[in-house]
Amino acid sequence: MGERTFAEDVKQLGYGAGQILHGEGILAITKALLQSGVSYVGGYPGAPVSHMIDVLADANDVLLRPMGVYFEQSGSEAAAAALLGASINYPVRGAVTWKSVVGTNVASDALSHVASAGVRGGCLIVIGEDYGEGSSILQERTHSAALKSSVPLLDPRNSLQSFARFVEEGFGLSEACHEPVFFSIRIRACHMRGTLVCKDNVKPAVSTLLPLGAQSFSIDRINLPPFTYAMEAQKFEHRLPAARRYVIDHALNEIFDGDDREIGIVMQGGQWNTTVRGLAELGVADIYGRTAVPLLVLNCLHPLVPEQLIAFMRGKRQIFVVEEGMPNFIERELQALAHEARLDVEIHGKDLLAPNGEYVPRLVVGGLAKFFAGCSPRGVPAGAIADRYRRLTEHQERITAVLREPVAKRPPSFCTGCPERPLFSAMKILREREPAIGDTHVSHDIGCNTFSTQAPFNIGNSVLGYGMGLASNSAVAPLFGKRTIAVMGDGGFWHNGLTTGVANAVYNKQDAVFVIIDNGYAAATGQHHVPSTGTNARGERLTTTIPGALRGLGVTWIKTVESYRIPEMIGTLRDALTTRAPGLKVVIAKGECMLERQRRERPRKRARAAAGKTVEQPRFGVDPDVCTGDHSCMRFNGCPSLTLRPSPDALREDPIAHVDETCVGCGVCGEVAHAAVLCPSFYEMKIVANPGWWRRLLARVRRAVIGRLAALAQ
């Protein structure tokens, strides 16, 4: 399953004590889960932790099942958080994963209940922080969610050895304070490669091979009054104090003493690498991070330990806080504690750094340079730091001089051959050719379909949350004056759209059009399986279908169309928007994700060609003598393989359309030209490897006939 196979990496998950694991951060975290005696694991895929689900799926038959570890790819983040309910009553360790912050929002109901009731077995939530310039979602952090539910939050230093240590410490912290624990890992750290000295895997004490055998009931673990009031008291009178004791007793936060007693730097654990590299660039540290400036590395961001923070600040004149994201919880906590303890210390942070956004090295180095300009560290002249910073940044002025205007933005788009593109080609053609019908409000959903809001389609008026596209249309539809359209992928449909969208629309008798893109997978997360894929993450067969689920909720107007058939799609959308049938009209645009199809087909075709068998590959092209340079085909298509090239006709200056070698032969360009009544310049050809005798003979005859006709034409 998924866009990658981790079959080779999975072998390393079975390594014993002393063996060296080589791989990405996620692999080290998965190995540490097995070394911690975890009983169950689950989660919902999303960047940057999607491939943790892939690793677990690839390891299920060869490692997890033989150890008795239960694994599932949960139907949503809420379902994943609800898995942790197993640890409320029983001393079993469990781990789940999802993408933050949108995933945490979905999981918050179940998570709040688990955090309120408390847990007996250790619970770890591996949170993928999708934040910064590489992010694909809205910009928020997990910190506020941890504070809201009083859930401890770990943000360890970025190394595989550190990740493994804090997975094990996370379980220990959870069992010490009886709360689930967030383990936060940034997008770059997930894919960071390194080495890990392994320990032996630990078979869980409770597992599918060693079941519990008896149920456990305690009324004070049920989230009902008056027990909920006692649970809140437990959080602040016992659980958080126990967490703080664990942080101190196990030295989760690290203090690096320096010779300079008058200044110091406090940072999130995940900012260690960037900050220490910045110090080295400014000449204040060596390449190993040894520095005269005292450092406090907060690998545990919540709860903070006031005594530890005050002890670090005491005697210092100035403190610099490297805290990514807003609000600046750590900086404010330090300022409040310094005031209460009457410490004469200046605390800097967001005043010297960007108030928001990812703290990439350039920003951190700039903040450090500003800090040291006001308080030169011992043994390093302030002028020397300023001079090094000037040399580091002087090239930026030259770049600005060369690039007089910003580099053009390159928004994301559909992949070559994507089955979702023809749907939006059909919608755009309908909008432009029949505006009375097609020019309507379109609500979008999270997923690849959101790319249609970009050029050349510019279709989609709103995007809310995963599976929320239809529900977000509820108030627009009755107020718009004509039927509106909601578009959602099959991943969003199964994640939340079936209940939040379809059930809500049927219940409220909503008269709207709902388009479901059925490409077979949750494609945006890396082709993970959904209930209608046909198999689950463990490879077990399923018979669930989208039409069956819709009919079960009472939807009767359901039409399924092959998405590549653009004229048929236009006709079906027209019918849905104009029919007198009341209620929800559902159009299912069906077509397998082209990435997944090509991953399967290309190796098969290469193997057949290598074996000497005949292999055909359709390709499309543009006749340069017919193309007028109008480029309407691109305006209705947007395929990355459809580009421009100079016209061979000297009398026509405009560049002509051209299909490059990345074409996968989906045929959308020709379908668009036909449906939109454009010029007939597109043609289809077949590239044949290892042709048989009949094909070779036919090719010779064709060449002879064409040559003869060409000679006669001259």
Task: Give the 3-state DSSP-derived string for 421-477, with helices as H, strands as E and coil as C.
Answer: HHHHHHHHHHHHHCHHHHCCCEEECCCHHHHHHCCCCCCCCEECCCCCCCHHHCCHH
Question: Is residue 387 one of the residues assigned to a domain?
Answer: yes
Residue 357, by phi and psi: left (phi above 0), alpha (psi -120 to 50) or beta? left
- Measured CA to CA, the distance from residue 110 to residue 130 in angstroms comes to 22
Domain boundary among 356, 372, 402: 402
Q: Are residues 39 and 129 in the same domain?
A: yes
Q: Are residues 55 and 138 in the same domain?
A: yes
Beta bridge partners of 656: 645
Predicted pLDDT of residue 218: 84
Mean pLDDT by 10 residues, the chain (714 residues): 67 94 92 96 84 88 93 90 92 92 87 92 91 73 88 95 96 96 89 92 92 85 83 90 97 92 93 93 87 94 96 94 92 95 94 88 92 83 85 82 74 85 92 91 89 88 87 86 90 88 91 91 77 82 90 94 93 94 94 85 88 86 82 83 84 83 84 79 85 87 87 78
Question: Is residue 516 one of the residues assigned to a domain?
Answer: yes
How are beta strands 300-302 and 70-73 bridged, if at all? unpaired
Domain boundary among 596, 626, 654: 596
Predicted pLDDT of residue 668: 85
Tell me the CATH number at 494.
3.40.50.970
The set of residues, in sequence order, having a beta carbon less than 8 Å from that of 594 and lying 6+ positions away, is 415, 416, 417, 418, 419, 664, 666
Specify the amino acid at residue 614. T
Q: Are residues 453 and 575 in the same domain?
A: yes
Tell me the CATH number at 391.
3.40.50.920
Annotate 642-699 with three-state secondary structure. EEEECCCCCCCCCCEEEECCCCCCCCHHHHHHHHCCCCCCEEEEEEEECCCHHHHHHH
Q: What is the DSSP letter of 585?
A: E
Q: Are 2 and 51 in contact (CB under 8 A)?
A: yes
Domain boundary among 550, 566, 596: 596
What are the φ/ψ torsions at residue 298 (nearest 5 degrees)? Answer: -90, 90
Helix (H, G, I), strand (E, B) or coil at 122: coil
Would you call the peptide bond into 567 cis, given omega within 30 degrees of 0 as the criterion? no
- Measured CA to CA, the distance from residue 286 to residue 225 in angstroms comes to 57
The average confidence (pLDDT) of the chain is: 88
Q: Are residues 16 and 112 in the same domain?
A: yes
Q: Are 100 and 130 in contact (CB under 8 A)?
A: yes
Q: What is the pTM of this model?
A: 0.87
Q: Are residues 157 and 296 in the same domain?
A: no
Q: Kindly report, residue by residue over 179-200, the tens digit of the pLDDT.
A: 999 999 988 888 889 999 999 9
Q: Are residues 197 and 111 in the same domain?
A: yes
Predicted pLDDT of residue 3: 54
Q: Are 493 and 447 in contact (CB under 8 A)?
A: no
Predicted pLDDT of residue 678: 77
- Measured CA to CA, the distance from residue 267 to residue 474 in angstroms comes to 45
Q: Which domain holds residue 381?
A: 254-402
Q: What is the DSSP letter of 62?
A: I
Question: Is residue 452 one of the residues assigned to a domain?
Answer: yes
CA distances in angstroms from 282 to 255, 265, 382, 387, 388, listed in the order given: 21, 15, 10, 9, 6
Question: Is residue 702 one of the residues assigned to a domain?
Answer: yes
* Tokens (6 digits) for 2: 């998924």
Q: Are residues 94 and 134 in the same domain?
A: yes
Question: Is residue 207 one of the residues assigned to a domain?
Answer: no
Predicted pLDDT of residue 243: 96
- Measured CA to CA, the distance from residue 401 to residue 448 in angstroms comes to 37
- Measured CA to CA, the distance from residue 57 to residue 55 in angstroms comes to 5
- Measured CA to CA, the distance from residue 85 to residue 211 in angstroms comes to 16
Tell me the CATH number at 680.
3.30.70.20
Q: Are 446 and 522 in contact (CB under 8 A)?
A: no
Q: Are residues 455 and 352 in the same domain?
A: no
Question: Is residue 348 one of the residues assigned to a domain?
Answer: yes
Find the helix packing angle between 566-578 and 421-433, rounded to 10°.
60
* Tokens (6 digits) for 701: 């005859």
Predicted pLDDT of residue 626: 82
How many domains does the chain fold into? 4
Q: Are 443 and 619 in contact (CB under 8 A)?
A: no
C-alpha neighbours within 13 Å on the C-beta side of residue 639: 34
How are beta strands 318-322 and 346-348 bridged, if at all? parallel
Question: Is residue 407 one of the residues assigned to a domain?
Answer: no
Q: Are residues 142 and 31 in the same domain?
A: yes
Question: Is residue 502 one of the residues assigned to a domain?
Answer: yes
Q: Are residues 647 and 701 in the same domain?
A: yes
C-alpha neighbours within 13 Å on the C-beta side of residue 86: 23
Q: Are residues 559 and 631 in the same domain?
A: no
Residue 224, by phi and psi: left (phi above 0), alpha (psi -120 to 50) or beta? beta
- Measured CA to CA, the distance from residue 594 to residue 600 in angstroms comes to 10
The set of residues, in sequence order, having a beta carbon less than 8 Å from that of 399 and lying 6+ positions away, is none
Compute CA 312 distance to the chain's CA centroid, rounded to the nearest angstrom: 37
Going by C-alpha positions, the residue among 320, 326, 322 that lies closest to residue 345 is 320
Which contiguous run of DSSP H or E holds residue 712?
A: helix 693-713
Predicted pLDDT of residue 244: 97
Q: Are 450 and 444 in contact (CB under 8 A)?
A: yes
- Measured CA to CA, the distance from residue 183 to residue 152 in angstroms comes to 9
Q: Kindly report, residue by residue over 378-400, the tens digit of the pLDDT.
A: 778 878 888 888 888 888 877 77
The set of residues, in sequence order, having a beta carbon less than 8 Å from that of 703 and lying 6+ positions away, is none
Residue 178, by phi and psi: left (phi above 0), alpha (psi -120 to 50) or beta? left
Q: Are residues 120 and 179 in the same domain?
A: yes
Going by C-alpha positions, the residue among 413, 416, 426, 415 that lies closest to residue 636 is 426
CA distances in angstroms from 353 to 359, 384, 462, 490, 656, listed in the order given: 9, 21, 33, 42, 49
